[in-house]
Amino acid sequence: EVQLLESGGGLVQPGGSLRLSCAASGFTFSSYAMNWVRQAPGKGLEWVSVICGSGDSTYYADSVKGRFTISRDNSKNTLYLQMSSLRVEDTAVYYCAKSRGGSCYSGNDYWGQGTLVTVSS
Amino acid sequence: DIVMTQSPDSLAVSLGERATINCKSSQSVLYSSNNKNYLAWYQQKPGQPPKLLIYWASTRESGVPDRFSGSGSGTDFTLTISSLQAGDVAVYYCQQYYNIPFTFGPGTKVDIK
């Protein structure tokens, strides 16, 4: 059974940093692209970032480019999102989501339950 | 960026009736080399993460009831729920994965009339 478990969310002040983790199990983690998608309270879904299977290709939404870094440790089956220079508008539930294939260009077939990041003073 | 729009914003349908949601992309998401539309549909119930229903615009994900179907090509797509059940109350999102950033539509809320 595929499982994705996010952690690391919490309350942080504007300008602060936070690292999210997503522990994966039930599939060959290194073979699949992985995404972060966020949802502000009461709002729709916003794609944040993707890392392709081996981790050599990463892409970001303009809203987080230069502030967030996606990475993966295939030996630990874990996906990360390092967030810095956080803004109030980064407040959201952050989901990790598995791509259907190794290519970045596929839909997301499994999602974690999400972790809430609140940026506030 | 490819802009995704959905219509209507919300709809209320009687149990057992058909629900139709439209999604439009600002540019084609049909990749000519493989003739695939890079378009997915998700269902999100309150307090839950999204669930993949449809990918490649019309391929139903494993385990998804066959009352859910996707159609369309290029820039215009439709998600149809052929016979609405109480458990289908949710927000439905389309997403293109043709170009980065992988943009979502704003969502369509489906309720029971």
Mutate: best of B97, B99, B104, B108, partner A, most A CBs <10 A: B97
Residue identified by tokens 């870094």 is A69
Band the pLDDT of A101: cuts 50, 70, 90: confident
Residues of chain B in contact with residue A46, where contact means CB-CB under 8 angstroms, are 104
User: Is pLDDT above 90 for A103?
Assistant: no
Please give the pLDDT value at position A102: 79
Distance CA B111, CA B104 (A): 21
Please give the pLDDT value at position A31: 93
Q: What pLDDT digit, counting tens, does each position of A5-17 carry?
A: 999 999 999 999 9
Nearest CA in chain B to A5: B49
Among B50, B98, B100, beta carbon nearest to A111: B50
Residue identified by tokens 């794609």 is A47
Q: Smallest Cα–Cα separation from A36: which of A25, A22, A23, A17?
A: A22
Q: Does residue A74 contact residue A29 with C-beta atoms inside 8 Å? A: yes
The token pair at A92 is: 């959201």
User: Is pLDDT above 90 for A54?
Assistant: no
Please give the pLDDT value at position A34: 96
Which of B:28-87 have CB within 8 Å of A?
38, 40, 42, 44, 49-52, 55, 61
Q: Does residue B4 contact residue B107 with C-beta atoms inside 8 Å? A: no
Cα–Cα separations (whole angstroms), residue A70 to A29, A84, B38, B85: 15, 12, 23, 39
Band the pLDDT of A56: cuts 50, 70, 90: confident
Q: Smallest Cα–Cα separation from A69: which of A20, A108, A105?
A: A20
Residues of chain B in contact with residue A100, where contact means CB-CB under 8 angstroms, are 52, 55
Cα–Cα separations (whole angstroms), residue A102 to A31, A95, B66: 5, 19, 27
Distance CA A4, CA A37 (A): 13
CB-based contact A109 B103, cutoff 8 Å: no
Q: Smallest Cα–Cα separation from B43: which of B72, B2, B85?
A: B85
When pLDDT is averaged across residues B16-44 and rounded to a whole number, the result is: 98
The token pair at A64 is: 């987080």
In terms of C-beta density within 10 A (0-12 exposed, 13-18 middle, 19 or more buried), how is residue A50 classed?
A: buried
Please give the pLDDT value at position A72: 95
Distance CA A4, CA A70 (A): 16
CB-based contact B52 A105, cutoff 8 Å: no
Residue B104 DSSP code: B
Arithmetic mean of pLDDT over chain B: 98
Cα–Cα separations (whole angstroms), residue B29 to A11, A110, A111, B45: 38, 22, 23, 27
Q: Smallest Cα–Cα separation from B26: which of B10, B3, B47, B8?
A: B3
Nearest CA in chain B to A35: B102
User: Is pLDDT above 80 for A24?
Assistant: yes
Mutate: best of B2, B102, B103, B104, partner A, most A CBs <10 A: B102
Please give the pLDDT value at position B56: 97
Q: What pLDDT digit, counting tens, does each position of B35-65 carry?
A: 999 999 999 999 999 999 999 999 999 999 9
